Amino acid sequence: MTDPISDMLTRIRNALIAKHKTVGIPASGIKVEVAKLLKEEGYISGYRVNEDGFIKTINLELKYSEEHDSIIREIKRISKPGRRVYVKKNEIPRIRGGLGITLLSTSKGIMTGSRARSLGIGGELICTVL
């Protein structure tokens, strides 16, 4: 697999379209951090890392509104293996005036754009969530 993060986002997108309650994703350290941030920001209900022998998977519990609309309206990969996108601390984008979040990979770990802005560090733009 060339881009595991893009695969994770695509699995989430497909599960939301199909109105699934959970989605299983092969686990890695960066994917667990992304799931943790999505939980902290309220885009998913929860996540669990399951170990079955050598195979680790992340089960995300997707979140829907009372009208059965998904909380995540759009999840989009920005930096790709063929074209990495890096931003400085003052270039971190605000998604629709603060309605969405950006996830960055920084020297201090994976974090949201607002947290990176407050710490005064830039990094690689992983994805945007709205």
How confident is the model at residue 16, as a pLDDT?
Answer: 97
| Residue 87 confidence (pLDDT) above 90 | yes
Q: What's the CATH fold of domain 4-129?
A: Dna Ligase; domain 1 (3.30.1490)
Q: What residues have CB less than 8 Å from 39, skipping those under 6 apart?
A: 45, 46, 47
Say whether pLDDT at 1 is over 90: no
The reported pLDDT for the residue numbered 126 is 98
Cβ distance 103 to 119 under 8 Å?
no
Mean pLDDT of 90-109: 96
Q: What is the pTM of this model?
A: 0.95
What is the pLDDT, as a whole number, of residue 15?
A: 98
Predicted local confidence at residue 84, as pLDDT: 97
Q: 27-37 as b/e, with b when 16 or more CB fall inside 10 Å?
A: beebbbbbbeb
Stretch 90-98: mean pLDDT: 94
**Rounded to an integer, what distance in angstroms lies between the CA atom of residue 49 and that of residue 60?**
9
For range 67-79, the mean pLDDT: 96
Domain borders along the chain are 4-129
Q: What is the pLDDT of residues 2-58, one digit of tens each?
A: 999 999 999 999 999 999 999 999 999 999 999 999 999 999 999 999 999 899 999
